[in-house]
């Protein structure tokens, strides 16, 4: 069972991470199209997920999930227990 942090927006953040779980590098527009959210909203959430270490930006405009993000999706970590980034 996943344990989201208070800063996370549910279910949007989970859906973004699930879209990235495929291993593909995706743009905010592609993610938004696939989870029925606007590109702008996905971009804001990706910024937060990147800051918290769940997602990384390997190339301008593209995002991919990190190992921490995969552990969260697998229910292996409690996101509330992670030190919140400033």
78: which residues sit within 8 A by CB, 6+ positions away?
A: 3
Helix (H) or strand (E) holding 60: none
Topology classification of domain 12-79? Arc Repressor Mutant, subunit A (1.10.10)
Pairing of strands 55-59, 62-65: antiparallel
**Chain segment 74-83, per-residue pLDDT in tens:** 999 999 888 7
Q: Which residue has the higher pLDDT, 63 or 86?
A: 63
Confidence of residue 1 (pLDDT cuts 50, 70, 90): confident
pTM: 0.92
10 C-beta neighbours (distance < 10 Å), count: 9
**Chain segment 22-76, per-residue pLDDT in tens:** 999 999 999 999 999 999 999 999 999 999 999 999 999 999 999 999 999 999 9
């Amino acid at each position: 069972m996943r344990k989201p942090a208070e800063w996370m927006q549910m279910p949007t953040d989970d859906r973004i991470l699930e879209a990235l779980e495929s291993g593909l590098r995706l743009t905010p527009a592609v993610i938004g199209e696939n989870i029925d959210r606007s590109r702008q909203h996905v971009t804001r959430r990706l910024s937060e997920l990147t800051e918290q270490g769940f997602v990384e930006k390997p190339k301008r405009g593209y995002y991919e999930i990190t190992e921490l993000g995969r552990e969260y999706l697998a229910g292996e970590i409690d996101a509330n227990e992670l030190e919140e980034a400033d």
